[in-house]
């Protein structure tokens, strides 16, 4: 099957090894893509594991799961990726509502060689 983060890639060789824990994300961009795919495939544990502990309380598992489970994801566009920053647009529909566009600038942090999501600023 195609990977949600990029229809030109196979899930098996793109984000699945990260979701399974057999590979770590080498870059914030790779982590961001894998988190998008995790939302799309409702891999809630992966989303929790890749959120930095310092902000985890802002993203309660039940809320993340509820949103992911009621949302269909249509595509990801990377606008910018440099250093610890990834800016992207994601198209999705929640609860069968019209398609929305999320434009976010995400910030990642590396700790002991592992990248984590820390925060996102929503842009319009
Ligand atoms: Zn992917």
Rounded to the nearest integer, the mean pLDDT of the chain is 97
d(CA 35, ligand 1 centre) in Å: 9
d(CA 88, ligand 1 centre) in Å: 14
pLDDT tens, residue by residue, 105-115: 999 999 999 99
| Spatial distance between the Cα atoms of 88 and 106, rounded to a whole number of angstroms | 8
CA 4 to chain centre: 10
pLDDT tens, residue by residue, 39-73: 999 999 999 999 999 999 999 999 999 999 999 99
User: Which of 5, 89, 2 has the alpha carbon at shortest distance from 46?
Assistant: 5
**Domain map (residue ranges) of the chain:** 2-123
d(CA 36, ligand 1 centre) in Å: 8
Residue 124: is its pLDDT beyond 90? no
Class of domain 2-123: alpha beta
Judge residue 51's burial from the number of C-beta atoms within 10 Å of its C-beta, 0-12 exposed, 13-18 middle, 19 or more buried: buried
d(CA 16, ligand 1 centre) in Å: 7
At residue 104, the pLDDT reads 98
């Amino acid at each position: 099957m195609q990977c949600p983060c990029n229809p030109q890639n196979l899930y098996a060789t793109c984000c699945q090894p990260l979701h399974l824990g057999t590979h770590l994300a080498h870059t914030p961009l790779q982590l961001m893509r894998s988190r998008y795919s995790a939302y799309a495939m409702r891999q809630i544990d992966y989303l929790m594991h890749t959120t930095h502990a310092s902000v985890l309380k802002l993203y309660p598992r039940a809320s993340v799961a509820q949103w992911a489970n009621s949302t269909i994801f249509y595509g990801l566009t990377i606008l910018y990726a440099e250093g610890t920053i990834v800016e992207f647009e994601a198209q999705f529909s929640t609860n069968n509502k019209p398609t929305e566009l999320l434009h976010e600038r995400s910030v990642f942090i590396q700790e002991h060689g592992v990248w984590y999501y820390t925060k996102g600023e929503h842009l319009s």
